[in-house]
Structure 1
């Protein structure tokens, strides 16, 4: 874990806030690391740790960890990424285009968004998003919050086209829902 955390701290220039999301005795543990203000005032960025420590038959060349960045100071966004990492680890592949419906608003104070789309990292340098560790290569994948009504739109358009919608800030928890 230390090498992964050193990699993140090199990017952030500081130590993160962290949350242990699994039981203390869980093996492997599941944690989130939170950095505030890296993308401007009142922004939050978070990374998971523990998803890549489980096995999946399709993870031959690299193992995923999750990243989220939001124009918000609410920890719920990072905790939602941790929930996605923990709820299906060992079961799902966590591949580009996967949608994780949480069934309830992620940050009800700010938004009704209740799902997360996993896609390529757009907010970090691609070289940074690939972490070479002694026992595995970890690749960061980014989570983009969605409204429940947008899930069908993503499935119809495909995630790349959806995320390419002009004049939409996918980091803004208060953005209006997109419609077809």
Structure 2
């Protein structure tokens, strides 16, 4: 049986039409939680750099009742620093930020 992360990566593989991703990790600052990984697709879609996280959803948050989020960022850039920024944001705020749709308030 495939693990949760294996299912997630298989889903991303299906969506990416075979584009090989880059992987970057941010070590955890929270005891008991593993690192956050950023999965990066260059040129997907339409010449954008797209980065997705894995690791936010393994934390807990009081507002997460029917599921837990991961983050996605698409920018018209080739600079992977955007992906690193997403990973650091995800690691630093997981468990404290709700990452709810439309939420732009500070945590």
- Mapped pair 1:5 → 2:9: yes
How many residue pairs end up in the alignment?
99
Q: TM-score if structure 2 supplies the norm length?
A: 0.81
Alpha carbons of structure 1 residues 26 and 75: separation in structure 2 relative to 1, 3 Å: farther
1:88-146 C-alpha deviation (Å, 9 max, x unpaired) = 11111111223378xxxxxxxxxxxxxxxxxxxxxxxxxxxxxxxxxxxxxxxxxxxxx
User: Which of 61, 82, 93 is the equivalent residue of 1:88?
Assistant: 93
Distance in 2 between residues matched to 1:26 and 1:16, nearest whole Å: 27
Task: Kindly state the Cα deviation for residue 47 of structure 1 after the two structures are TM-superposed.
Answer: 0.2
Structure with the greater alpha carbon radius of gyration: 1
Distance in 2 between residues matched to 1:55 and 1:93, nearest whole Å: 9
Structure with the larger strand share: 1
> Higher relative contact order at CA 8 Å, sep ≥6: structure 1 or structure 2?
2
Cα RMSD, aligned residues only:
2.0
Gaps of 5+ in 1: 102-180
Q: TM-score if structure 1 supplies the norm length?
A: 0.50
Q: Which runs of 4+ in 1 moved over 3 A?
A: none
